[in-house]
Structure 1
Amino acid sequence: MSSALLSPPGQPSLHVVLVVGRGGGGSGAHVRSLAAGLVARGLRVTVCAPARTAAVHDLSMAGARFVPLATCTDPATLTTLRTVCASADVLHAHGATAARQCALALRMRRARPPLVVTWHTRTRGSGAAARMARLAEGRVAREASVLLGSCSELVDRARRSGARDARLAPGTVAGPRRATVPDEAGDEERRNKIRAELGCVGVPVLLSVGRLDGTRGHSWLLHATRAWRVLEPRPVVLIAGEGGERRVLQRRIDAENLPVRLLGCRDDVPDLLAAADVALLTTPWESRAVFAQQALRAGVPLVATAVGGTPELVGDAAELVPYADPAALAGAVARLLGDRVRLAELADRGRRQAATWPTEEQAIAQVLAVYDELTQRGR
């Protein structure tokens, strides 16, 4: 760690305030990793987040002081942030909504710590609300001391919005702890046990993970499954996740007799991946999808939509298809299931691609370098 971040004896260490809203799209997991890493390096860290986000990502267990926020849109949030920022050396907001609230809180202060903003996703949608959100997003981009984008598309977007300093900062998720010596027999035994528990013995297993809220592409995924009903053996699609669209999806699965099972919320995605033949990512936009990272690290062949930062993330280690093209998705999966050589090739490429991603240590070091630079400017 740079000596600039190490306080002289008897003086308090650098105080960093991390702010996150809903924590979806991997931002909550990233904040937990960052908070734990900063604490381990001797910095004082305060994490501000809604209680639900903190519970889902164990933010209060990262070794940092935790300050709950009602929500990132509640007026009381501004008061809380202004109070917390009074002693901050750096304020780091994750996500557009958290960034807007942090910028508002700083506008009301004379002495302002530098504001670092990380964009993990982009503002989507149409209509007046989406236009207002994009205008606010652009203003925050111009006010941030440094804006970090988790993929190149977000960095380009920030620069077009007028950001004074936009940089690529790809976060990462922790990889699974692997045995020192591969145990193929043990892996196969585990795979068979999980598939038996899922009731998927003797059939190909396709796995998708994501909220059932209309933003994950499940509707056209279900459309694609019609083509797989003629395959022998017929593959089963497992969808892990919960949300308001569950009843709609289940009614359609039942009415059309689709080979799909909704598993609800699961905290055992690594086990589900161990049982899967192919992983599916059908979303309309992603930066660095956590599920894609998990699949490639586990050596599970991935079929994903060619959107956002996904091509940059996976390189040639996945089959990419256009968004909302059921025929393309159905064809890509059918070809893979009929080509064991290609499946093995993608599994190997996935692991090698995952090895090129920044480690948690490297991601934390990059952020620390930004803090170092900004605190040096203010001296």
Structure 2
Amino acid sequence: MRVTQSMLSANSLRHIQNSYKNLGKLEEQLTTGKKVSRPSDDPVVAMKGMRYRSQVVEVEQFNRNLSEVYNWMDNGDAALDEVNSVMQRIRELTVKASNDTYEEKQRQAIASEVDQLRNHLESIANTRVNNKYIFNGSDTSGKPVDLSKIDQEVDLSTIDANNAKDYALFAEDGTQLLWNDISGGFIDASGAKVEVPVTGDYIAKEVGAVSVNQKDVNIEVSKGVNLNVNITPQNVFSLDFFSDLGKLVSDLKSPETTGDDLSKSIGVLDGHVDKIISERAELGARYNRVEMVESRLSSQEIIAKSTMSENEDIDAEKTIIELTSQETLHRASLAVGAKIIQPSLIDFLR
């Protein structure tokens, strides 16, 4: 085959162009720190990178969710701790007042303090975090406790189909009934219709007196794993809780109340304290699980980022050596190309 000068020149230019291309690719890798900058560089690496990156983003989002979980639980636990302290103070005052040697004025003073503590418990029940009420189930925009409505007496006989939706009914066992327009009657937490007599073993209060929302606030902390971050408000800030404290205040103010009557109230207070402790213990158990989930997510994040780095990131030392070698080859290619280019008449005239 006859090899011409133009063929040598074309081959030389093509090889030089490829050398420039290789130099550009290595320079781009060193600049970005990545093996590929576009899917066409290596479709397999790019596809794997998309999956690994999605996994890292998912784990990072779960870590952000954990911050919200801790926010809810820490505030809930702090509030329950304060409630327990207030209840211990009320119990202490009740024990003192149960002594028949206390005069009426002394019991009046204790009644005033207990009443103030009761109001403080209302403010704790209405705790808001990030403008959300944390003790009202999933209804985070609604105020869970209103003492003015709790203290208001409602006659069951005055409730009919026209105004029933404005009231909630409470049974002695804690069962709560709400009016449902679809069924045309009161329903329980399961949605079953309940026939309520005009009079019976129910106490009626305006909606908003205490929380009637029993739905959990769930936050996803891992794929397919949701944790309940709030307490059940009906177990702590119930109608009985505030009503019993209200009755205690009334008994302390009444001159006819004896020490034995107040001693019975101590047992009632202890029952509420037990519920607070139980709810706090249950919250603590969930808190321990959150800590284990956080540890697991930390391990997953490290593994996911390590895998993504192995797939996408370059070996800087290796790439620098390759770039140096390519520069040497490129200079040699330019030198050889300069020698095979056909001399022109101008070169001889020099």
What is the TM-score with the length of structure 1 in the denominator?
0.26
**RCO greater where, 1 or 2, for CA within 8 Å and sep 6 or more?**
2
Question: Higher helix proportion, which one?
Answer: 2
Larger radius of gyration: 2
What is the TM-score with the length of structure 2 in the denominator?
0.28
